């Protein structure tokens, strides 16, 4: 995997997280608190600026009330252009 590909994967995952957060009508601060993550870190995740650990992906999925698999399915939809 090239660095460029890795960065775009993070961007797609961040878009999926943002999409689910907005669907839940939650602010970044509310979702970060629920996931027990710093708000600025959560914002950077949504922008695709951080390579997440599985532990933090699990925290976010739980806060969003979705499975980890659902996060990646939605991320693929952004990657494939099904969502923008």
The residue ranges of every structural domain in the chain are 3-76
Q: What is the pLDDT of residue 1?
A: 38
User: What's the rounded Cα separation, in Å, for the pair 31 and 5?
Assistant: 27
Q: What is the pLDDT of residue 22?
A: 98
3-76: CATH architecture: Orthogonal Bundle (1.10)
pTM (whole model) above 0.75: yes
pLDDT digits (tens, 9 = 90+) for 23-64: 999 999 999 999 999 999 999 999 999 999 999 999 999 999
Residues found in the chain = 84
CA atoms within 13 A on the CB side of 67: 3
Averaged pLDDT of the chain: 92
Q: What is the pLDDT of residue 84?
A: 79
């Amino acid at each position: 995997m090239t660095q460029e590909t890795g960065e775009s994967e993070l961007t797609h995952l961040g878009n999926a997280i943002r999409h689910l957060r907005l669907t839940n009508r939650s602010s970044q601060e509310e979702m970060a608190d629920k996931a027990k993550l710093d708000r600025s870190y959560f914002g950077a995740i949504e922008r695709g600026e951080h390579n997440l650990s599985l532990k933090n992906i699990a925290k976010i999925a739980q806060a969003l009330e979705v499975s980890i698999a659902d996060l990646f399915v939605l991320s693929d939809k952004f990657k494939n252009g099904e969502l923008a």
